[in-house]
Amino acid sequence: MKSEWIATYEGSEIKVTNGWFTGEKLFINNELQDEQLNFITPSQMTGKLKTKNGAELNIKTNLSGFFSVSCRLFVDNKKVELQQTK
């Protein structure tokens, strides 16, 4: 089963995917930033988002759950809402 969450932040698309065999992946504007293959421990991934004015913002995501997976996204330590698309 594959899950996917998407958020838009200052015009950039942030996507997090989770699959049984493909693991967890963090994409920013379709560029892979981080990936992990965890079966039991909670997943934590990080990346960088470059804003239109050239500033770099820190991105971090947390995935957790067993039967149902949930995802949280933080941009510069502020929680950003995600929409689950799959």
Sequence spans of domains, the chain: 2-84
Per-residue pLDDT of the chain (86 residues; tens, 9 = 90+): 689 999 999 999 999 999 888 889 999 999 999 999 876 667 899 999 998 888 999 999 998 877 788 999 999 999 999 999 98
2-84 folds as Lipocalin (2.40.128)
Q: Give the whole-angstrom CA distance, residue 16 versus residue 34.
A: 10
Q: pTM for this structure?
A: 0.89
Nearest to 84 by CA among 24, 4, 28: 4
Q: Give the whole-angstrom CA distance, residue 74 versus residue 60.
A: 5
